[in-house]
Structure 1
Amino acid sequence: MKEKSHRFLIVTVMFLGLMMQNILWFAPAPFLSLIVEELGMNMAQAGLSMSIIGLITAISGLFLGGFFINVGIKKTFSMALILMSIGSFMNLIVNGFWALLLARILIGIGFGFCLPVAGTVIMTYFTQEERPYLNTVNSLLPYLATAMTFILTIPVFKLLGSWRMTLALPGVFSLGALLLWLKYYFDQTEAMQVEERLNRNILRELIKNREVVLLTIADICDMWSFQFVTTYMATFFYTEALLSLEKSSYLMSIFPIAGIIAGLSCGIAMSKIGLRKPFTWPLHLTIFIGTTMALYLTGFGRMFGIFLSGFGNAGWAPALFTMPMEFDDMTPEKVGAVYALMLSGGFLAAFVSPFLGGYLTKFMSLRTVLFLFSMPSLLAAFVTWNMKETGRKRSVAEMRYR
């Protein structure tokens, strides 16, 4: 079939769109102070403009599940790219906080439309042996987007001379991805039986699935800890550990580097070995141990703790994205719905965690709150340890030829 011959082009276009999704989320951060000054905003409004995407993504990801199931993944991702492009281009004309917030909300809705895409596309076009490698790439996109944002945003800003044009640029790439997506993607879900698509409440079915519930809990716990640690750890280093701003920033730069190393190494190892669980609960324990070391040790111990925390956070992501494809009685449509369910829960946790934790610092030290908010990693380790192994261990001979 023609669409099968274009499968690597299709997945590349999908990854481009998902990369723009993550870049649009983080892009304002490097020059947020300039935006605050020009639009007359305060820092609370600036923080809301960044965090609102997590909340809108969680809500839209859950409530748009019916849209995805009924219209198919082609139209769903097309709508995502259109909304993200509009939100990106709105930066050219925003004149205040509310206009900026509307642009960010549109990006967040587009973000929500993106949630089921990767699972459906990868399961549709790739074999069981190929999927872990594609899921490894998918798991690295947020870390690559973060790195690209902080490396390229300021040089592009200096080149273009405008933060508005800089924030509009990802919209151009999103439109390019949209055109390629419309040309090459064939939505196989359109060929599914009408009765199955209209009469089955897939989300209700998935909520009753033990493995789906456990994996969703694990992702919620992971995102709760991840978002709070990445938001406040540098602040702890500066205000309570009494390190300089430069040293605090340098220490936290270890986190995404460790994440990229972990995503690649764990994803490749998982793909070759064939098992999934060894890349779940041990890595959640690694997150907790690493965060504790970063909080209570100094010098090399603190640096190694940050590395372990970043390694654990990214290292389990290939398994997170692969296991739903190997649950019993799964179809591409169901996998997309699993992604929407578990990632929506994770984004909601990522929205609540910084606000609740920030409030609790009125009553206890930031170190204590960071430690308490890292403890969900232990729950994530427990629930993933109790999950079934979805993979199959390969022999040495099989691994040699992979």
Structure 2
Amino acid sequence: YTLLQIPVGTLLDRVGIKWMMRIGTILWSVASFMTAIVSGLGLILLSRILLGIGEAPAFPGASKATGYWFPIKERGRATTTFDAAAKFSSALGLPIIALVVSAYGWRAAFWTTGILSLIYAVAYWVLYRDPGESSGLSATERDYIVEGGSQQEGAVPTNTTANLRFLLRQRKIWGLTLGFSCYNYAFNLFLVWLPGYLQTQLHASVLKSGLYLIIPWLVAGVADVLIGGVLVDKLIASGYEPTKVRRVLFTVGMLLGIAAIGAAFTANVNVAVTWLTISLAGLAFAAPIAWSIPSLIAPKGTVGTVGGIMNFLGNLAGIVAPIVAGIVADRTGFGVNFLITGAILLVGIFCFLFLLGRIEQIEAPPADISGITERIHTPAA
């Protein structure tokens, strides 16, 4: 998943969202069913690799699609729709999967996710089109999107390597990417380790740990939608400067993320879950702010690549987080991980504020570097 982020991002820019996501959703459905069926470590690892390949286009593709479909003033709510879905799925999925595993075993959990993935794959295949291909989009609606600052469709970079080199020289790209990576370190620490933390440190059962985690993930989803989406768009529509709105709310979210430190100093599961709920809520509404930015700063035809760069380094941080957490937990106890995470979030705030700078489109490279060509979309009848 992580290694494919930049290649998939460039393919999203060249091939398009529709086909990359169609292929991806089918692959991750097959991977879930395969995990439920196969035996042996090798085949199980192969199914997990296939899942990573299938899921790779999801977030960069969603970010690129919001750039096509929504004017700038509505980008916050659009982004938070797909980002909050991940939080709500954790709130609902953890207890459901815990119940399925407890009642029917681990293979049943993968049959469940496989069926859900297949339903989504069919829905995406039938429903998603780019604006230029959509028969349900009126001329008035299309003009509203374009005049509102949507990303231009049909801009295809042919010189992929030169474009990537150009993007990697931009300070804004590094500010966004490093800030998001610090967020993703914290998020993946919680995603991977919270059930184990509740079970080993606070002695909750598998089922109870799943039930306890409904609260923080549910609150995170609500905060994602109401603050990272609705509030951001409302403040910008009210006349507040967009860069300031996004910087302030991202900073507040990351600062709230540091509240997880409170869980390091309690042995009470209810108190720990309260601190973790505050932390996850803050991180949750910071995330869609970050994911809205590739479509705002990327030069023409490069939103997928920018999203891929951001998600590549973000997921490297996400891979490191649970490994470091396991080592630290073995040597010092799990609470120290919350202190480390707090320090990393402070670094992320610095990168977002002082490296990213003003949130505006990066000036496109010269045509001889970008090799941009125009792919014309004819609206469907």
> What TM-score results when the alignment is normalised by the length of structure 1?
0.72
Task: Name the counterpart of 1:324.
Answer: 294
- List runs of 5+ in structure 2 lacking aligned partners: 134-150, 237-244, 361-381
Task: Name the counterpart of 1:148.
Answer: 92
Residue 247 of structure 2 contacts residue 352 of structure 2 at CA under 8 Å; is this kept in 1?
yes
Task: Name the counterpart of 2:145.
Answer: none
Listed as ranges, the matches of 1:289-308 within 5 Å are: 290-297=259-266, 302-308=272-278
In structure 2, do the counterparts of structure 1 residues 63 and 324 end up closer, same or farther at CA, with 3 Å as the change threshold?
closer
Q: Does 1:311 align with 2:281?
A: yes
Q: Cα distance, 1:176 vs. partner?
A: 0.8
Aligned with 1:330: secondary structure?
coil
Q: Does 1:218 align with 2:162?
A: no
Q: Which of 120, 134, 138 is the matching residue for 2:64?
A: 120
In structure 2, do the counterparts of structure 1 residues 127 and 373 end up closer, same or farther at CA, with 3 Å as the change threshold?
closer
Q: What CA distance in whole angstroms lies between the structure 2 residues aligned with 1:86 and 1:373? A: 35
Q: Cα distance, 1:199 vs. partner?
A: 6.0
Instruction: Tell me the percent identity.
Output: 22
Q: What CA distance in whole angstroms lies between the structure 1 residues aligned with 2:296 and 2:224? A: 20
Residue 68 of structure 2 contacts residue 153 of structure 2 at CA under 8 Å; is this kept in 1?
no
Q: Does 1:354 align with 2:298?
A: no
Aligned with 1:272: secondary structure?
helix
Q: Which of 218, 224, 231 is the matching residue for 1:257?
A: 218
Q: Which of 232, 252, 255 is the matching residue for 1:270?
A: 232
Q: What CA distance in whole angstroms lies between the structure 2 residues aligned with 1:189 and 1:129? A: 16
Q: Does 1:364 align with 2:308?
A: no
Residues 250-270 of structure 1: CA deviation (Å, up to 9, x unaligned): 554432122112112212111
Which residue identity is paired with 1:315? F
Aligned with 2:332: secondary structure?
coil
Report the number of matched residues: 329
Aligned with 2:226: secondary structure?
helix
In structure 2, do the counterparts of structure 1 residues 199 and 283 end up closer, same or farther at CA, with 3 Å as the change threshold?
closer
Listed as ranges, the matches of 1:2-401 within 5 Å are: 57-91=1-35, 93-153=37-97, 162-163=108-109, 165-181=111-127, 191-192=154-155, 196-198=157-159, 201-233=162-194, 235-237=196-198, 239-240=200-201, 242-245=202-205, 251-266=212-227, 267-274=229-236, 275-288=245-258, 290-297=259-266, 302-327=272-297, 330-331=299-300, 333-386=301-354, 387-390=356-359
Q: What CA distance in whole angstroms lies between the structure 1 residues aligned with 2:291 and 2:128? A: 25
Q: What CA distance in whole angstroms lies between the structure 2 residues aligned with 1:235 and 1:98? A: 25
Which residue identity is paired with 2:172? E
Residue 9 of structure 2 contacts residue 307 of structure 2 at CA under 8 Å; is this kept in 1?
no
In structure 2, do the counterparts of structure 1 residues 186 and 101 end up closer, same or farther at CA, with 3 Å as the change threshold?
farther
Residue 143 of structure 1 contacts residue 260 of structure 1 at CA under 8 Å; is this kept in 2?
yes
Residue 92 of structure 2 contacts residue 214 of structure 2 at CA under 8 Å; is this kept in 1?
no
Q: What CA distance in whole angstroms lies between the structure 2 residues aligned with 1:94 and 1:234? A: 26
Which residue identity is paired with 2:338? L
Aligned with 2:158: secondary structure?
helix
Q: What CA distance in whole angstroms lies between the structure 2 residues aligned with 1:302 and 1:65? A: 38
Q: What CA distance in whole angstroms lies between the structure 2 residues aligned with 1:136 and 1:181? A: 20
In structure 2, do the counterparts of structure 1 residues 249 and 205 end up closer, same or farther at CA, with 3 Å as the change threshold?
same
Q: What CA distance in whole angstroms lies between the structure 1 residues aligned with 2:43 and 2:183? A: 32
Q: Cα distance, 1:94 vs. partner?
A: 0.9
Q: Cα distance, 1:303 vs. partner?
A: 4.2
Which residue identity is paired with 1:73? I
Q: Cα distance, 1:135 vs. partner?
A: 0.7
Q: Cα distance, 1:357 vs. partner?
A: 2.4
Q: What CA distance in whole angstroms lies between the structure 1 residues aligned with 2:197 and 2:112? A: 31
In structure 2, do the counterparts of structure 1 residues 66 and 325 end up closer, same or farther at CA, with 3 Å as the change threshold?
closer
Q: What CA distance in whole angstroms lies between the structure 1 residues aligned with 2:10 and 2:130? A: 24
Q: Cα distance, 1:325 vs. partner?
A: 2.4
Residues 236-281 of structure 1: CA deviation (Å, up to 9, x unaligned): 45545x5544776555443212211211221211110012111111
Q: Cα distance, 1:134 vs. partner?
A: 0.6
Q: What CA distance in whole angstroms lies between the structure 2 residues aligned with 1:356 and 1:303? A: 22
Aligned with 1:95: secondary structure?
coil
Tell me: higher relative CO, structure 1 or 2? Use CA pairs within 8 A at least 6 residues apart: 2
Q: What CA distance in whole angstroms lies between the structure 2 residues aligned with 1:367 and 1:146? A: 23
Aligned with 2:72: secondary structure?
coil
Q: What CA distance in whole angstroms lies between the structure 1 residues aligned with 2:273 and 2:82? A: 27
- Let me know the Cα RMSD of the aligned residues: 3.1
Residues 136-190 of structure 1: CA deviation (Å, up to 9, x unaligned): 1122021122123234446778799945532431242143134315777757988
> What TM-score results when the alignment is normalised by the length of structure 2?
0.75
In structure 2, do the counterparts of structure 1 residues 364 and 153 end up closer, same or farther at CA, with 3 Å as the change threshold?
closer
- List runs of 5+ in structure 1 lacking aligned partners: 1-56, 392-402
